[in-house]
Structure 1
Amino acid sequence: MSQNDPRDASREVKRVPPQSWSGESPDALATSGMFLAGLIMVTRNRYLSWPSLFFGISAYINYHPLRTKEGGQPPLANLALAVAAVVASYLPFFLADPQRSSQPVKLV
């Protein structure tokens, strides 16, 4: 520092956050569950629907309102999207096609 600087260099202290602050950790399970649910809606892959439902339930159970960001997704929306993905992936099995009604159902 120069001689005419009024700040005292001996009183400088490195800034340290308090111990009560916790680092913001992204909710990876909820994010991947939402991504998988959207992927299932497009591809109708029923094998990916069950992990998506598991991620949705896990996000609902591990939801802590005091530790979430302002713009975070509510856990019920994540769970509802996961349930809708399971329903959408299995819906073609329950809907009858009038042209194929005489043929046996072939499960893939």
Structure 2
Amino acid sequence: MASRKEKDMRRPDLVIPYQEPASKGEGGDFGSTISSTLPMAAIFLRNKYIGWASVVFSLQSWLGESEETTKSTSTPGYFSVGMSLMSLVVTYLPLFLPQPGQPGTTTEAPAPVPLA
């Protein structure tokens, strides 16, 4: 066994100690993801409830951002608030500008059904 120690060629001065890699920060900000995708869902689906939810989520993410998140994100918080407000405008647009060719509501009785 003494010969085994003599053949050990490792040099202690060349050993590099293990260093834990630096963390990459948070895994991702779920709130900002929701605040940027909900306005698009409200526009595509023309759903007013999703539009109002997008306004609430985007305001929360804008008011809750810190200096570190403003440095790391590519879009500012007020941009997501603007997008959510625009989604509300799009969902309420048919209320103010009805589509041409659609019959309006009338108060008269419907036409009689012909007998077969």
Matched, 1:60 2:62: yes
Percent of pairs with identical residues:
23
- Indicate the residue corresponding to 1:87 in structure 2: 89
- TM-score when normalising by structure 2: 0.66
Gaps of 5+ in 2: 1-6, 107-116
Q: Tell me how large the CA RMSD over aligned residues is.
A: 3.1
Cα deviation, residue 72, structure 1: 3.2
Amino acid at match of 1:24: E
Between the two proteins, the alignment pairs up a number of residues equal to 100
Distance 1:7 1:31, change over 3 A: same
Matched, 1:6 2:8: no
The Cα offsets for residues 17-55 of structure 1, whole Å up to 9 and x where unpaired, read as 78xx79415221221121111111111111111110001
Query: Distance between the aligned counterparts of 2:93 and 2:42, measured in 1?
Result: 12
- TM-score when normalising by structure 1: 0.70
| Larger RCO (CA within 8 A; separation ≥ 6) | 1
Moved more, 88-97 or 43-52: 88-97
Larger Rg: 2
Gaps of 5+ in 1: none
Distance 1:25 1:64, change over 3 A: farther
